[in-house]
Amino acid sequence: MAVRLQASGLVESLMSEAEVVVVNTCSVTAEADREARAYIRRAHRLNPSARIVVTGCYAQRAPEELAVLEGVAAVVGNSHKAFAPEIALSLAANSTSEPSIVPLHSLVNSGTQIWADDSFAHSFLERAQVVPGVDPGSQTRPNLKIQEGCGNRCTFCVIPQTRGHSRSLSEESVLKQVRGFVETGGNELVFSGINLGRWGRDLEAKPTLAALVRAILAETSLPRLRLSSIEPMDWDAELIALFRDFAPTRLARHAHLPLQSGSDAVLRRMHRRYRPWHYVEKVAALVAVCGDELTLGADVMIGFPGETDAEFAETYEMIRALPFGYLHLFPFSPRPGTRAWDMHRQAPVPPKVVDERMKALRELAREKTRAHRRAMLGRTLDAITLHTPTELAARNKTTALTQNFLPVEIEGSIEANRLVCVCAEEFAEDFALRAVVK
């Protein structure tokens, strides 16, 4: 959106001075909704004359809820996100341009215009060329979103409603993006998607993600590719074999498999497509190819409706037994319109119990992270330098990320986006590793 608005002649400015403010929202939890509303209110308070355009998942899920907030001039759901830049442009002061698509409806009192339906005919995947960020704060290792939407129906998840069915960026477009990224000096690219492992299923020839990755690593000179979250059952033998052929230098030894729960009964209630033993098998296959250098990550949901002490204990034990390098822990958040919303009404887990379980897993996650990183001390690992925070740079240090997703602090000052080999020597703060360049 930013690239397209800049190409139309708009310039970025402070929120307090901007004519138009675009707010891209998340709606994955009730907390995300609350933060989005608070942000919009703050934007209006700081700059009452700004015309606010709200887009993203919350705008798709409940457009009227956002349209009534003061200062909001337009609500553009994900279904019409491709039009968000031209809608924003039309709202700039002295603009004579009109969006090429009429709003689906307007609020009677405020005139706020709404574009959102469930066809997703006007949502889009990345069109602007992805480049390595050169400014401090920008992404040295950007994401290239190659897949959007999801056809699964996990009972807790609002994403299929807010992002629609699964769609893939064509192989040709992915290759073009990767070549463009390499030409602009990019060194590490992250493939992302809402359900990345489903990439290609909607395309005519039904190519697989593994075949796409193999083609990219064979046909381009991309120095390093990282795969973001992939559902457990999509880690098939073809995909896992890529680590044997391209890791660690060109394919990062990093696998994120959402777990959510280690209890078979809870996974069934969640409508997840795997059982705990499937998950264990996939991890074993990954470790067999990557060794202990693999950094394994997972999302875990705590307090799903009806989660008993025994079911939580199964999750805890499973996590304890597997070689996780990090965990993303989330308390269950009931989302309107999902099946788990009703389950939560019938069998909520008390907040105090959720807090206790979160605390126990947080401690376990810290132990796992520390143990995994301790095992890396003394090893030489490929890494990429990042934009170093000012305070650390003042101490003559550089931040970097190893191919296997470990944050490191390097002695000395090195500019961002350099590929280096580091040897981790000791722990710094927050379990980051102190390393020297080899």
Helix (H) or strand (E) holding 338: none
User: In 10 A of CB 321, how many CB atoms?
Assistant: 11
Report in angstroms how near the CB of residue 409 gets to ligand SF4 at its nearest. Answer: 34
Task: Compare residues 202 and 292 and give the one whose CB is closer to ligand SF4.
Answer: 202
5 vs 266, which CB is nearer to ligand SF4?
A: 266
**Closest distance between ligand SF4 and the C-beta of residue 160, in Å?**
5
In the complex, the smallest distance separating the C-beta of residue 57 from ligand SF4, rounded to whole angstroms, is 11
Nearest to ligand SF4 of 95, 152 (CB atom): 152
3-state secondary structure of 198: helix
Residue 66's contacts (CB-CB under 8 Å, 6 or more residues apart) are: 25, 36, 37, 40, 54, 58, 59, 72, 75
**105 vs 271 by CB, closer to ligand SF4:** 271
Q: Report which residue type is found at 272.
A: R
Q: What are the residues whose beta carbons fall under 8 Å from the beta carbon of 19, sequence distance 6 or more?
A: 49, 50, 51, 91, 92, 93
Smallest distance, Å, CB 105 to ligand SF4?
28
| Smallest gap from residue 195 Cβ to ligand SF4 (A) | 5
Contact indicator for 313, 326 with CB cutoff of 8 Å: no
Question: CB-based contacts of 388: which residues, under 8 Å, 6+ apart?
Answer: 397, 398, 399, 413, 416
Q: How far is the CB of 311 from ligand SF4 (least distance, A)?
A: 19
Distance CA 400, CA 433 (A): 10
Tell me whether residue 299 or residue 411 sits nearer to ligand SF4 (CB atom). Answer: 299
Footprint on this chain of ligand SF4 (rule: CB under 6 A): 150, 152, 154, 157, 159-160, 194-195, 231
Largest CA distance in the chain: 66
Nearer CB in complex with ligand SF4: 231/314: 231
32 phi-psi bin (left φ>0, alpha ψ -120 to 50, beta other): alpha
How many residues in total does the chain contain? 438
C-beta of 63 vs 232, nearer to ligand SF4: 232
Smallest distance from ligand SF4 to CB 161, Å: 10
Question: Closer to ligand SF4 at the Cβ: 99 or 232?
Answer: 232
Pick the closer one to ligand SF4 by CB: 315 or 403.
315
CB 241 within 8 A of CB 263: no
Q: Is 40 helix (H, G, I), strand (E, B) or coil?
A: helix
Identify which of 140, 112, 144 has the alpha carbon closest to the alpha carbon of residue 125: 144
Closest separation between CB of residue 193 and ligand SF4, Å?
10
Residue 320: phi and psi, rounded to 5, are: -60, -35
Closest separation in Å from C-beta 336 to ligand SF4: 15
DSSP state of 321: H
Give whichever of 160 and 200 is closer to ligand SF4, judged by the CB atom: 160
Choice between 124 and 330, CB closer to ligand SF4: 330
Q: Least distance to ligand SF4 from the beta carbon of 384, Å?
A: 28
CB 140 within 8 A of CB 384: yes
Residues 6+ apart with CB under 8 A from 13: none
Residue with the two structure tokens 């890529």: 242
Cis peptide before 223 (omega within 30 of 0): no
**Smallest separation (angstroms) from ligand SF4 to the CB of 260:** 8
Give backbone dihedrals phi and psi of 263, rounded to 5 degrees, phi first: -100, 125
The DSSP letter of residue 260 is B
